[in-house]
Structures are given as structure tokens and as C-alpha cells.
């Protein structure tokens, strides 16, 4: 199971309507939990079962809460699902991991961030390549990780990240939650 669903609103507390807060919590945290719960009975019968969440490393630097507390809580909730479920299903052989990009990725969500030039991002295929590398690992020995895309590729001997840039002449900007 790959969970790439997400709702985003990079707004401050006073600028985040409760309807938007509820949407982020519902899609990001509840959706993560619900999809995993629905897939687990099937995964428990699989040969090399994996759940992969697009969720960030847990970075408690207050700067990642300032300006978008609700979004940060919702994304970190996904990462906490990774850690909890990985431990819960470790002995049953189901891998649960998170994956997060070091840089911005050129997706529709990028259009929701004012002032960001999409040329300062990487293409989505960097995450697809990482997902393949993670999902083909042995589920019993690869669980409970909050991976960063570049680190996953580097362990596979891939160190040319520029090939994923939208514009090779532009240095991609760091994504949220990465110091």
C-alpha cells in the first residue's frame, strides 16, 4: 500500500478555518490510519508486505510549526502512524515506512505555495524510484523508517540527483521539515 494522499494549507492558526483543519486531519491522519487498517488483513497474507506513507521525518524544531501548525500536526500524525504501525506489525512481517523529499517536488500541491517557482523543484519520478527501492526490500528487515529520498537513492549507488531537477540550471529548494 502506498499512501500519497494529502491535504495542505500552509496557513497560520487564525487563518485556518476549522473546515480546512478538519480536512487536513481527516485526509492526512485519519486517511492514513483508515487505509492501512483496510489493507492490513490482505497484507498479512502477502509474501513481502509493505505500507509506504509520504510522510516527513519528525523534526520538533519550532520553525516547522510556526505559520502552519495544523498542517505540521497532520503530517507528523502520518509519521507517527508509521512508527506505531511498524512496531505493531514488525513481528508479523509487515513493513511500514515513511518517505519524504529533501526538496520540493513539482506536484499540483506546489501551486498552493505562494511565490514558489516550479523550476526550483524536482520531478515526481525521484519518489517513484525511491518507492520502488523501498518496496522491493525485505519487509522483515526494513520497517519503521522515515526515509529521505536522497538517502534511499544513495544507498543504491545513485548520487546524481540533478537528473531529477525540473530545470537542471536551477537548484531545487528544500522541502518543509528538513533543516
**Active-site residue among 33, 71, 76, 164?**
71
CB neighbours of 103 closer than 8 A, spacing ≥ 6?
121, 122, 172, 173, 174, 175
Q: Which of 70, 52, 69, 65 is nearest to 5 (CA)?
A: 52
33 is catalytic: no
What's the rounded Cα separation, in Å, for the pair 1 and 168?
Answer: 32
What's the rounded Cα separation, in Å, for the pair 51 and 85?
Answer: 9
Q: Could you say which DSSP state residue 25 is in?
A: I
What's the rounded Cα separation, in Å, for the pair 99 and 56?
Answer: 7
What's the rounded Cα separation, in Å, for the pair 50 and 176?
Answer: 25
Helix (H, G, I), strand (E, B) or coil at 138: coil
Catalytic residues: 71
Amino acid at each position: 500500500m502506498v499512501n500519497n494522499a494529502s491535504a495542505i494549507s500552509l496557513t497560520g492558526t487564525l487563518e485556518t478555518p476549522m473546515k480546512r483543519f478538519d480536512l487536513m486531519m481527516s485526509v492526512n491522519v485519519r486517511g492514513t490510519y483508515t487505509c492501512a487498517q483496510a489493507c492490513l488483513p490482505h497484507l498479512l497474507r502477502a509474501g513481502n508486505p509493505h505500507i509506504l506513507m509520504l510522510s516527513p521525518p519528525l523534526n520538533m524544531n519550532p520553525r516547522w510549526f510556526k505559520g502552519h501548525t495544523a498542517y505540521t500536526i497532520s503530517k507528523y500524525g502520518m509519521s507517527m502512524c508509521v512508527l506505531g504501525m511498524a512496531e505493531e506489525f514488525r513481528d508479523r512481517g509487515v513493513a511500514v515506512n515513511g518517505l519524504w523529499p529533501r526538496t520540493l517536488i513539482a506536484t499540483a500541491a506546489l501551486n498552493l505555495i505562494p511565490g514558489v517557482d516550479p523550476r526550483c523543484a524536482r520531478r515526481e519520478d525521484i519518489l517513484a524510484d525511491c518507492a520502488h527501492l523501498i518496496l522491493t526490500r525485505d519487509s522483515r528487515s526494513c520497517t519503521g523508517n522515515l526515509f529521505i529520498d536522497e538517502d534511499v537513492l544513495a544507498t543504491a549507488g545513485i548520487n546524481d540527483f540533478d537528473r531529477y531537477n525540473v530545470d537542471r540550471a536551477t537548484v531545487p529548494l528544500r522541502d518543509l521539515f528538513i533543516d
